[in-house]
Amino acid sequence: MSAAEIVTVTLNPAVDQTLQVPGLQLGQINQAHSLRFDAGGKGVNVASVLADLGQACAVTGLLGEDNARIFENQFAARGIADHFIRTPGATRINVKLNDAQSGHTTDINLIASAPAADALVLLRATIAALCAGAARLFVLAGSLPPGVPTDFYATLTRDLKTAGKTVVLDTSGAPFAAALAAAPDLVKPNRHELETWLGRALPDRESVIDGARALRAAGPATVIVSLGEEGALLLSEQGCWLACPPKVNVVSTVGAGDAMVAGWIAATQQGLTPDQSLRLATASAAARISHPDGSLHRAGLTALAAQVDVQVIGF
């Protein structure tokens, strides 16, 4: 097993096919200026950014063997320990149409096939082995493929917490709601995901703060709500903070939330305070949308983090 202390778990990875389509017009013929393929999925994205930030990490989950090479190459290039369970067939492909003129990205996500029962058994055994080894922090990220029980993350969170591990949960919908009572250490919904869980709109800062309080009361120790260009809100037992990001040239918004999670983990691994960790997490998201190739992460985020304004918000 890996000697890495951080493990990301991705049950529903994807090959991201990203096209740059300036001035995208739906229902019309459009010209794409570039095309790239990347190994994707929330946990894969988190691990990639962590590696770019110098953090040793391992990945596991379910991966189609027919097109696994793109993932294997990315893991090898970044020194990420690969513990994915290979399954028959291909990993799904997600198409992302990025319009730099508007700053919007249109996602077309393919629905994955249901995994075989023995694949889930192997995955649980792999996670147990990693848990028994050096791993102390697990990131449970992304959607669940068809056929996987809605309470999969809830059960896994309880098992990991019982073993004394730190659990970061970044998912949505029914799996998110089911896992809250298992008390993950950190959850990071975006505004829309928080609105969906609450069943009401959050039109202003005060309503977002109230929503974050309600979410934290449901079980998680720490809540970060990503707010896009408005930054991020952090709520924990130590206080409440709002981070306002620097202005950057937006190349693609894909993976910004995953980069925020990775930045937070890297900061806490360094022993930074909550407000300092939020600053680095927000800078990490800004680096991702302006330099999606990871170059700004590898160059260091000090200058960008210094441009993040963090305000204390009272309880």
Contacts of 239 by beta carbon, 8 Å cutoff, 6+ apart: 274, 275, 312, 313, 315
Question: Residue 167 pairs with which residues in a beta bridge?
Answer: 138
DSSP 190: B
Q: 42-52 and 256-269 are packed helices; what angle lies between their axes, rounded to 10 degrees?
A: 50
Could you say which of 258, 275, 293, 309 is catalytic?
Answer: 258
Q: What are phi and psi of 32, to 5 degrees?
A: -90, 135
């979410």: which residue's tokens?
Answer: 215
CB contact at 8 A, 14 and 93:
yes
Question: Annotated catalytic, 258?
Answer: yes
Nearest CA-CA partner of 254 in 40, 26, 22: 40
User: How many residues are recorded in the chain?
Assistant: 315
Q: What is the largest CA-CA distance in the chain?
A: 54
Nearest CA-CA partner of 190 in 221, 215, 166: 215
Distances (CA, A) of 195 to 139, 215, 230: 23, 11, 16
Residue 168, burial from CB neighbour count under 10 angstroms (0-12, 13-18, 19+): buried
Catalytic residue positions, numbered: 258
